Structure 1
Amino acid sequence: MPVANPSHEVSVEIDGHIATVEMHRPPHNFFDVDLVRAIADAYHALDAEPGVRAIILAAEGRSFCAGAALGGDPAPDDEAEAPALTGNPHLYAQGARMMEAETPVVAAVQGAAIGGGLGLALTADFRVAAPEARFASNFARLGFHHGFGLTVTLPRLVGEQRALDLLYTGRRVRAEEALEMGLCDALVPLDELRDKAREMAQEIAESAPLAVRSIRKTMRRGLADAFRLATDHEQVEQDWLRQTNDFREGVRAMAERRTPDFTAT
């Protein structure tokens, strides 16, 4: 059953006890503050729906979310974080609102989750991935500092050492490795992705809803506050790095599809 949508770029549909919140910015679902706000609004509206016990976060197109909006039309194969638009305090405030929502979320990751898109995926309780999925915190490759709360969410899932590996190198992680390290919780063929996400959501929905929310509140206690503190610091670091030659070189190299020549200036 479709419900009133918070945005034409975010749809909400309720089927039984499960709601699907879907992003509609294909092919890569680059985000901005409006898109993140619409997702947060949808989550909080669904918290108030007594019949909704679990949410599936999904995306239309080839990528789950390939980072922040570039402000123009990206090239067809462009899947890179747009660092000039990260560090937005309003965007991060909406991300924190997502973290404050009460209903469990299963993300269905069909393709790239890159930069801030990785941060978006990690706000969910669980992630189901297709073999086509890949995950990367590519900020350091752009001369930039990571954002969207990855300071908190990434080591919470994969541990400090693996988080440092991903943050320092910016390397891409294929779905099989993501499953092994804990970035995703299930790996299924692309044509089974939504069904598997629904299966996981249905298992949650079959438990007592008040108990599930109580357990989730306990297990995620302080996470939204930690997210806010982390993004405050991430923004400070992003602000000064944005003024460096390395940042400018990283952005140029990304646009020109070449290896950057960083100078530590």
Structure 2
Amino acid sequence: MTAPDGVRCEVAGGVLRVTLARPDKANALRSEDIAALLRALEDAAAGGAVRAVLLRGEGRNFCGGADLAAANAQGGDRPPLGAMIRNLSASAHRLVRTLWELPVPAVAAVQGRAAGLGLHLALACDFVVAADTAAFSEPFARRGFTADSGATFLLPRLIGVARAKQMLIRGTVVPAPRALEWGLIADVVPADDLAGAAEELAAELAAGPTLVHGLTKALISDHLGADLPRALDAEARTVELSLRGEDFREGIRAFLGRRDPAFTGR
């Protein structure tokens, strides 16, 4: 996959590995980096060989957020009213939504800082595995503007309103052990074990029933705002669909044969 020098993408063993590769800038994302990430994720969503995604950062940090220095260096007149809304909708917001709605599971491997947009990309993944030295933060209020890219949606759902306000209004930095305690992330490992743990999880997910993973993700997302009757109806429709897949037949054969299933993602 072609990408700017700030993003590297490769597919092997059913896993799309996306590496943020600007370590000297804390892997902060420029507009071209966001565009490259979008292309890679949208290709993965379209089907084919990708059955899981692993998102990681090169160097000391996962991602320091959007590259405000690069954006401000462009200069020019103040943009017209509504320009920011259109720009966010087509770039950072589209990226977070694409990752959130991805029909295959995604893992974020986080070391160092995950801030702003970088934090939201991690949280839009299904699993966040963090080094024990990692830290999570929302720098928006300290810079004088409100949060974007899903912050006010993701944080209250994961850690509750009171803790979300701590991060978004007070700018509280949350170290990895506390983030695990709060439910912000899925797992914390020693820093030296991060790469291996994230790879192992991504490989496990890529070997699973891909259709079932995608349907389950969609149900969980839909039910965040649904009542129980609507959720039960959706589950019934989804079970009907998943029962028609080859992975279901393989799962039953494996159960009856007392062996591990060999899922193909179909």
Q: Within 5 A, what are the aligned runs for 1:85-234?
A: 88-89=87-88, 90-91=90-91, 92-221=93-222
Shift of 1:52: 2.1
Distance in structure 2 (CA, Å) of the matches to 1:222 and 1:97: 18
SS of the equivalent of 2:136 reads strand
1:253 equivalent in structure 2: none
Identity of aligned residues (%): 38
**Of 69, 72, 81, which residue of structure 2 is paired with 1:71?**
69
Q: Distance in 1 between matches of 2:200 and 2:95?
A: 28
SS for the counterpart of 2:97 is: helix
Per-residue CA deviation, residues 87-116 of structure 1 (Å, 9 max, x unaligned), is 642322333333333221100001101122
Tell me which residue corresponds to 1:51.
49
Query: Would the aligned equivalents of 1:18 and 1:52 in 2 still touch at CA under 8 Å?
Result: yes
Distance 2:174 2:138 in 1: 9
Letter in 2 for 1:103: V
Output the CA distance in 1 between the equivalents of 2:223 and 2:37: 21
Shift of 1:72: 5.1
Q: Say which is worse superposed, 37-46 or 213-222, in terms of deviation.
A: 213-222
Provide, for residues 124-154 of structure 1, a one-character-per-residue CA deviation record: whole Å limited to 9, x for no partner: 1111101221001122222221111111111
Residue 72 to residue 10, structure 1, CA distance change in 2 (3 Å): closer
Structure 2: how far apart are the matches of 1:45 and 1:209? 16
TM-superposed deviation, 1:186: 1.0
- Distance in 1 (CA, whole Å) between partners of 2:161 and 2:111 is 26
Unmatched 5+ residue regions in structure 1? 74-85, 224-265
Are 2:12 and 1:15 equivalent residues in the alignment? yes
Residues 10 and 23 in structure 1, CA contact (< 8 A), matched pair in contact too: yes
Which residue in 1 is equivalent to 2:27? 29
Superposition CA RMSD, Å: 2.3
Per the normalisation by structure 2, the TM-score is: 0.72
Secondary structure of residue in 2 paired with 1:6: coil
SS in 2 for 1:171: coil
Structure-1-length-normalised TM-score: 0.72
The one-letter code of the counterpart of 2:15 is I
Does the CA-based 8 Å contact 2:6-2:27 persist in structure 1?
Answer: no
CA drift of 1:120 comes to 2.0
Question: Take 1:94 and 1:166, find their aligned partners in 2: how far apart are those partners?
Answer: 22
Please say which structure displays the higher CA radius of gyration: 2
**Counterpart-to-counterpart distance in 2, 1:184 and 1:10:** 24
Report deviation, 1:48: 3.5
SS of equivalent to 2:10:
strand
Q: CA deviation at 1:47?
A: 2.7
In structure 2, C-alpha distance between the alignment counterparts of 1:222 and 1:5, rounded to whole Å: 36
Q: Is the 8 A contact 1:58 1:107 kept in 2?
A: yes
- 1:186-208 alpha-carbon deviations (Å, 9 max, x no partner): 11122211111122222222321
| Alpha carbons of structure 1 residues 186 and 69: separation in structure 2 relative to 1, 3 Å | same
Distance 2:38 2:62 in 1: 17
- Flag the 1:189–1:141 CA change in 2: closer, same or farther, 3 A: same
Q: Distance in 2 between matches of 1:197 and 1:220?
A: 23
* Inter-partner Cα distance in structure 2 for 1:169 and 1:121: 21
How many Å apart are 1:71 and its aligned residue?
2.6
